[in-house]
Amino acid sequence: MRQRKVKNLETKYAEYEDILVYEPENMKGNWHLRAGELPVYLEIGCGKGKFISEIAQRYPDRFFVAVEGNRSVMLRAMEKIREKNLSNVVFVPEFIDKLTDWFAAEEVSGIYLNFSDPHPKNYTTKKRLTYRDRLKQYFEVLKDDGILTFKTDNTDLFDFTIQEVIACNLKILDITRDLHANDCTDNIETEYEAKFSGLGEKIKRVVLGRGEPRKKENEMAQITSMAAMNGREIPKEDKVFGASSRAKAMAKEKGADAVINATIGSLLDDEGNLIVLSSVNEAVQSLNPAEYAEYAPIAGTPGFKSSVMKAALGNYEPNSYVKVVATPGGTGAIRNTIANYSTPGDKILTHCWHWAPYKSIANEMGRGIEHFDMFDSEGNFNLTDLEYKISKLLRNQEHLVIILNTPANNPTGYSLTEEDWYGVKAILDKVDFDKKVALLIDVAYIDFAGEIDETREFLPIVDNLRSNILPIIAYSASKTFTFYGFRCAAMMCLGHNAEVADEFERVCTFSSRASWSNSPRAPQTVIEHIYDNPELLARVDEERAGYREMLLARGKAFDEEAAKIGLEIVPFSSGFFVSIPTDQPDALCAALEKKGVFLVPLQLGVRVSVASISEEKCRKLPAMIKEAMATLK
């Protein structure tokens, strides 16, 4: 019920003169005169005071400023403070227009926005307390380590807020879309919160910190950046291509024999030349101009979609409703999945050993990354931590995208076993039906990981998941057909029903149009031609099988030599890469570069591309790595 206007309000306010601040602009830069040595915290819109009275009682070592424009409502808040005999709260009976008129820079340690007016009309957007200009004001007055906490039951306002947070390049420290589903012992309920959660509404909360350092006064006049960072962390150099460039420069200076370049994930022969299947090259050369120059349909040509489904699924005939959308490389499939099956502010779940761009793609769209430990203490796939992280994230999110890169994981070379997959299915079978999960299986290296049926043993398992779990396969034709620069891939869903599959095609096609529009026609036509010609397809399969055996021999050679000398590697099955765990990845790579060995530093170790070096070098490299590691201790 809305608070009625209190009679004789001025008389009643006179009883609280000692805790009222009528001219807050006169306190700017001088709140310490009221707070003493205590840090200053601010609640904007304190309402009837349940929150401010309880938090002030809980934290007597903090000083609180409560702001409320409705004076009748604020009277109830002051009554609560008086009843609790609290001396660390003052009240400002006004609506805030410009916070920087009341507080100086770095004068506030924390700000609380609880159940603010959503102002649902589009023309009132700027009145919302989480509008970007207001967010910027909050962080002008907050200390460098100050935090802003926002709670609401309004989903539209929460989604709007997350977009504004991204636009302001603020850092999301914590986020949940169902606060009360968590262990929230630190949470203090407001009157509105108790009311709406009691009615079954989910309470959303986000905790924010500064996304970039505060500019110093002498930096104000000098423009050193024009880009809108939007919460992203952008390195100065891509680690893979940076290391490869240094390797090429050394090879040019000292000769190719003096360098081992194990950085790039492309299949090279023993002399370091790029391997391109001659049968595929023949198909490329046969294209007429119309077959490569004309725009392809956004979702891909019909012939490509039919052919790539055969390539990805092999001999398996799915029971689900399958839809295919062409993408420019597997990166496009990952991007479209995150865009359409998660919401801004969500976290994407993947294994701790993962392809680094997963994080970049998620950050680009205002999502974060959560990792589960990929292996347990015995080197087995860690189903226990996977289940824990799924449960943890779904307490906070309505949607969840899980990315599993297998078989031949980048960067470890590990492939989930059939037993692992049944374990994953058992975990997903426990997910509540009101939660929606997209299981993205990144099979980029599937056709160089083993025999066609062996590497697709997981398909019948994921083809039998519950209706609230959507399997999506990201298939990289660029790698399978060795034309990396053509940027050709596809994403395909195994939908529980036709409606879900049709929706998948529609939303992913829409995202494609908004991102890169059409994928290249030429590689799509090449793959269509290959599958239309049984003799050519047989040659492609035979030629690829030969190079696959070469790759498997390289990986086995590295694995064997590492075992002989006691060099620990991450569990390896097959594929382009092997990884070595170390807590000094950058230092190890720097030490090896001095000896002409170029690897890729990761967060948990270093990556070796066995795809780009000979079997001889694969046998030689473990000892060199172990020797370099010894120098770091």
- Write down the number of H helices and E strands in the chain: 22, 19
Distance CA 102, CA 51 (A): 22
Distance CA 463, CA 428 (A): 13
**Bridge partners, 365 (sequence order):** none
Query: What's the pLDDT score for residue 122?
Result: 87
Residues of the chain with pLDDT under 70: 1-5, 216-221
Furthest CA-CA distance within the chain: 96
Secondary-structure breakdown of the chain: helix, strand, coil percentages, each rounded to the nearest 5: 45, 20, 35
Q: Counting Cβ atoms within 10 Å, is residue 293 exposed (0-12), middle (13-18) or buried (19+)? A: exposed
Q: What φ, ψ does residue 491 adopt, rounded to 5°?
A: -115, 135
Return the closest-CA partner of residue 265 out of 631, 10, 611.
Answer: 611
Q: Is 109 helix (H, G, I), strand (E, B) or coil?
A: strand
Q: Is 213 helix (H, G, I), strand (E, B) or coil?
A: coil
| pTM for the structure as a whole | 0.89
- C-alpha distances out from residue 373 to 174, 386, 428, 567, Å: 20, 7, 17, 21
Query: What's the pLDDT score for residue 614?
Result: 97
Distance between start and end Cα atoms, the chain: 68
- Which residues are catalytically annotated? 117
Are the C-beta atoms of 86 and 53 separated by less than 8 Å?
Answer: yes
Structure tokens at 39: 């840090």
C-beta neighbour count of 64 within 10 angstroms: 26
Query: What's the pLDDT score for residue 399?
Result: 97
CA atoms 133, 138, 144, 147: torsion sign: negative
Return the closest-CA partner of residue 608 out of 235, 247, 237.
Answer: 247
Task: Tell me how far the alpha carbon of residue 591 is from its chain's centroid.
Answer: 31
Return the closest-CA partner of residue 431 out of 401, 469, 461, 464.
Answer: 469
Return the closest-CA partner of residue 63 out of 115, 125, 113, 109.
Answer: 109
Domains of the chain: 9-219 (3.40.50.150), 239-274+548-632 (3.90.1150.10), 295-532 (3.40.640.10)
Query: What's the pLDDT score for residue 220?
Result: 55
| Cis bond upstream, residue 407 (ω within 30) | yes
Query: What's the pLDDT score for residue 1?
Result: 42
Structure tokens at 360: 């970049």
Return the closest-CA partner of residue 579 out of 596, 551, 603, 615.
Answer: 603
Are the C-beta atoms of 139 and 111 separated by less than 8 Å?
Answer: no
Are the C-beta atoms of 332 and 515 separated by less than 8 Å?
Answer: yes
Structure tokens at 568: 């620990």
Query: What's the pLDDT score for residue 238?
Result: 86
Distance CA 375, CA 604 (A): 13
What are the E-state strand segments in 97-141? 108-114
C-beta neighbour count of 428 within 10 angstroms: 20
Structure tokens at 372: 């589960």
DSSP-derived letter for residue 218 is G
Query: What's the pLDDT score for residue 446?
Result: 98
Are the C-beta atoms of 395 and 557 separated by less than 8 Å?
Answer: no
Return the closest-CA partner of residue 521 out of 331, 288, 335.
Answer: 288
Residue 60's identity, in one-letter code, is P
Are the C-beta atoms of 344 and 324 separated by less than 8 Å?
Answer: no
Give per-residue pLDDT as tens, 472-502: 999 999 999 999 999 999 999 999 999 999 9
CA atoms within 13 A on the CB side of 550: 16
C-beta neighbour count of 215 within 10 angstroms: 10
Query: What's the pLDDT score for residue 132?
Result: 95
CA atoms within 13 A on the CB side of 88: 20
Q: Counting Cβ atoms within 10 Å, is residue 306 exposed (0-12), middle (13-18) or buried (19+)? A: middle
Give per-residue pLDDT as tens, 547-577: 999 999 999 999 999 999 999 999 999 999 9
- Give the neighbor-by-neighbor strand order of the sheet with 321-327: 321-327, 489-495, 469-476, 436-442, 399-405, 347-351, 368-372
DSSP-derived letter for residue 216 is P
Query: What's the pLDDT score for residue 217?
Result: 61
